[in-house]
Amino acid sequence: MTIGQSDVEALHVALKMEEDGRKLYQDAASRVSNPLAKRTLSWLADWELDHIRLITTFYTNLKNLGRWGEVKDALKGKPTPKEEFRTIFQEARERLDELMAVDSEALEAYKLARDFENQAVAFYRQRLEGSVEYDARTFYQFMLEQEKEHYEILDRSYRYLENPALWHAEEESWMFDGG
């Protein structure tokens, strides 16, 4: 099997994985009642759609042309969603009373989603470590970082929903004086 064929197959798997992730987030968003969880899960579903489009481009290039195409150019300017996510949490602070009730369905959805993202991280890490071609490594590194960000967002959201007061204390580095 050539390196290109291996990457075609890997991108086929990645595409399926991202589609499954999008469905997982959409389904979870439709089941939860907590507004923060609903918004975060819907937002992650949209982010997966961006990944699907990106992977489809490279998959098509590899399959039809036998090359990745301009990976660096395609990845340039892709937004890092951390700033947008901070905005979601700022809005959550303003609606703290509404969000205080723990939504067990949301917590379960977040646990499932974190497990899913861990699998994605492992997949892209394995592909990165096994790739020698520059474009393949660039792509897999980008996707690895994206999936790590997904996990971080899910983890922060989970901790927030589980205990908003503790989350604020940790995030804002509150200090308590025992004297």
pLDDT tens digit sequence for 122-145: 999 999 999 999 999 999 999 999
Residue 147 CA to residue 141 CA, distance in Å, equals 10
Cβ-Cβ contacts under 8 Å for 139 (sequence gap 6 or more): 58, 68, 71, 75
Residue-level pLDDT at 145 = 93
What was the pLDDT predicted at 157? Answer: 84
Per-residue pLDDT tens for 74-111? 877 665 655 555 555 556 555 555 555 567 888 899 99
Write out the E strands in 55-179: none
Enter the CATH code of domain 3-171: 1.20.1260.10
* pLDDT, tens digit, 9 for 90 and up, residues 112-121: 999 999 999 9
Between 172 and 142, the more confident residue is 142
Give the least confident one: 14-23, 58-67, 166-175: 166-175
Q: What average pLDDT does the segment 29-49 reach?
A: 89
Whole-number percent of the chain with pLDDT over 90: 50
Higher pLDDT: 173 or 159? It is: 159
Could you state, in order of their start, the residue ranges of all structural domains in the chain?
3-171
| pTM more than 0.75 | yes
- DSSP label of 66: S
Q: Is 179 exposed, middle or buried (0-12, 13-18, 19+ CB in 10 A)?
A: exposed
Using CA atoms, how far apart are residues 17 and 23, in angstroms rounded to an integer? 10
Say if CB 39 and CB 20 are below 8 A apart. Answer: no
pLDDT of 75 reads 78
Over residues 153-163, the mean pLDDT reads 85
For residue 178, the one-letter residue type is: G
Evaluate whether 118 touches 66 at the Cβ level (below 8 Å): no
Please report the pLDDT score of residue 1 as a whole number: 42
Cβ proximity of 26 and 42 under 8 Å = yes
Across 13-17, 55-59, 87-91, least confident range? 87-91
